[in-house]
């Protein structure tokens, strides 16, 4: 098996429903422009609060994909 190199990027997905939905949104959005996605790791979860109520969930995701150099 040949050696491979992977690039890792950080994304923040948001959702009004849940952290899972926020993470899924980040990955699915990235998949529209990046090929060969490999691993998604959630590194941080937080919420946006307005007037004492949770209005959005945010998931910080590290996403790796195979790097093909020039």
Answer yes or no: is 48 within a domain: yes
pLDDT digits (tens, 9 = 90+) for 10-67: 999 999 999 999 999 999 999 999 988 989 999 999 999 999 999 999 999 999 998 8
Answer yes or no: is 17 within a domain: yes
In the structure encoding, which two tokens stand for residue 48, read together? 């946006």
Q: b vs e for 20-53, b when ≥16 Cβ sit within 10 Å of the residue's Cβ?
A: eebbbbbbeebeeeeeeeeebeeeeeeeeeeeee
Answer yes or no: is 16 within a domain: yes
Answer yes or no: is 1 within a domain: no
- Domain total for the chain? 1
Answer yes or no: is 44 within a domain: yes
The three-class DSSP label of residue 20 is: helix
Q: What is the CATH number of the domain that holds 60?
A: 3.30.1660.10
* Domain membership of residue 26 as a residue range: 6-66
Answer yes or no: is 14 within a domain: yes
Q: Is the pLDDT score of 1 beyond 60?
A: no
pLDDT at position 70 is 53
């Amino acid at each position: 098996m040949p050696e491979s190199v992977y690039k890792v990027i950080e994304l923040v997905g948001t959702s009004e429903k849940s952290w899972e939905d926020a993470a899924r949104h980040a990955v699915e959005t990235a998949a529209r422009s990046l090929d060969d996605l490999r691993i998604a790791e959630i590194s941080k979860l937080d919420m946006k609060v307005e007037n004492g109520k949770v209005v959005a969930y945010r998931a910080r995701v590290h996403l790796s994909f195979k790097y093909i150099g020039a």
